[in-house]
Amino acid sequence: MKMKAVISALAFNVPPDVYDNHWFEQRIETTDEWIKTRTGITERHFAFEGAMTDIALPAAQKVLAQRGITAEDIDCIIIATVTPDRVFPSSSAILQRKLGAKNAWGFDLSAACSGFVFALVTASKLVESGAVRNVLLVGADKMSSILNFEDRATCVLFGDGGGCVLLEPGTDDDHGVMDFILKMDGNGEPNLYQKAGGSLHPPTLETVTNKEHYVFQEGQPVFKAAVKGMADVSYEIMVRNNLTADDIAWLVPHQANLRIIDATANRMGLSKDKVMINIQKFGNTTAGTIPICLSELYEQGKLKRGDYVVIASFGAGYTWGAILYKWWLEPTA
Ligand code: UT7
């Protein structure tokens, strides 16, 4: 029988320091009320020192401990992120060193807020092909390193954090990634991007002076594209697998805006109690949102073997997608 890859351990980590909306009120022209009603965010975590892999490392270590394996047992490390420690080498190489996972190869995957979704499909296929036995898959971002804290249109939206899952062959072909829809539209670039820092505009005194190394976003067009994109693929993956809202245990959506999440849930006909939401605590942690959501749900004992979970995202690129994931790991409690 052909085995599917399954998540066999998972954990998340956010930096300890919490910044609530009032913190921003003291620095820029904004209000707690505006941020809460337009986004759903109350607070987020930032680490103004250290690197993205410093956020990922404790999550990865928890995953190893949870599964009862050592770093040397890891075959491959994939990190979905837009805030790698450096342009090169890859953050997966840096995490490999920090963990002591000396038998692992790996790479970084850049798909912004859809990074974890794209990487979960990629990693599952690697395991299912037999090319590797297990993959440590991280979705993490240190958004504070690319935020302009004078730009109220973006700085209030994001947070630092990430999660990690271990993927390995399951016990059957009836759990794991059952179906996926992944999409990309490069026409979205001008609405959500980092203007300088890459090969097109390498860092210069001018790019730094012009604050071009930060997140730039035209909120409204991204909002419209996200509402349509995330709702379309989430609905389609449910329907084309002959499932209804009753069959879905959880929608685990990217946490960019509560209104986008609500639109997706409404389109699927899902009641609110089946939608994982933690944007109020963490903001948008980009590639971190989904593994953080999954880890919180699992810690709370809310994921049971056989549960259908729809995982959905939308982000820069544009990139978006949905995964129908049938949960395998038994609850801890
Ligand atoms: O995760 C990757 C994908 N990203 C997303 O999915 C984000 C999609 N976009 C959004 O979530 C929303 O567009 C935002 C939350 C970014 C913005 O919400 P909005 O309802 O689209 O607001 P807006 O950009 O249309 O701005 C409305 C008003 C503007 O003022 P005027 O022109 O009406 O006077 C803004 O200047 O709100 C103003 N504004 C703010 N006011 C207080 C913008 N940011 C702030 C702020 N505090 N922080």
**Distance separating alpha carbons of residues 220 and 224, to the nearest angstrom:** 6
Cis amide linkage into residue 318, ω under 30° from 0? yes
34 phi, psi to nearest 5 deg: -60, -50
Question: In whole angstroms, what is the distance from residue 12 CA to residue 56 CA?
Answer: 8
User: What is the model's pLDDT at position 1?
Assistant: 67
Give the model's pLDDT for residue 331: 82
> Does 284 qualify as catalytic in the annotation?
yes
Mean pLDDT, residues 43-70: 98
| Cβ 245 under 6 angstroms from ligand 1 | no
Identify the CA nearest to 177 among candidates 129, 140, 141: 129
Sign for the CA dihedral angle at 198, 13, 270, 302 comes to: positive
Q: Are strands 319-326 and 308-315 parallel, antiparallel or unpaired?
A: antiparallel
pLDDT digits (tens, 9 = 90+) for 3-27: 999 999 999 999 999 999 999 999 9
CA 36–ligand 1 middle distance (angstroms): 11
The kind and range of the H/E element at 35 are helix 32-39
Quick check: 138 and 163 in contact, CB under 8 A?
yes
Residues paired with residue 177 on neighbouring β-strands, in sequence order: 325
Per-residue pLDDT averaged across 153-168, rounded? 98
In whole angstroms, what is the distance from residue 222 CA to residue 320 CA? Answer: 12
Q: pLDDT grade, residue 122 (50/70/90)?
A: very high
| For the CA of 30, the nearest atom of ligand 1 | 47
Q: Is 76 in the pocket of ligand 1 (CB under 6 A)?
A: no
**What is the average pLDDT value for the chain, to the nearest integer?**
97
pTM for the whole structure: 0.97
The CA 229 to ligand 1 mean position distance, Å, reads 19
For the residues 250-271, what does the mean pLDDT come to? 98
- Residue 107: CA count within 13 A, CB half-sphere: 7
Q: What is the mean pLDDT of residues 246-266?
A: 98
Q: What is the distance in A from the centroid of ligand 1 to the CA of 131?
A: 44
SS3 325: strand
Q: Is 45 tagged catalytic?
A: no
Is 266 catalytic? The answer is: no
Q: Is 45 helix (H, G, I), strand (E, B) or coil?
A: strand
Is the CB of residue 257 below 6 angstroms from any atom belonging to ligand 1?
yes
Handedness of CA 266, 267, 273, 275 (dihedral sign): negative
* Alpha carbon distances (Å) from 150 to 27, 215, 222: 8, 12, 21
332 CA to centre of ligand 1 in angstroms: 40
pLDDT score at 293: 98
76 beta partners: 105, 135
Pairing of strands 18-20, 105-109: unpaired
Mean pLDDT over 235-245 rounds to 98
Q: For residue 186, what are its two tokens?
A: 């490069």
Single out the residue of 91, 101, 79, 45 nearest to residue 164, CA to CA: 79
Give the tokens for residue 236: 């389609």
Q: What's the CA gap between 58 and 162, in Å, rounded?
A: 10
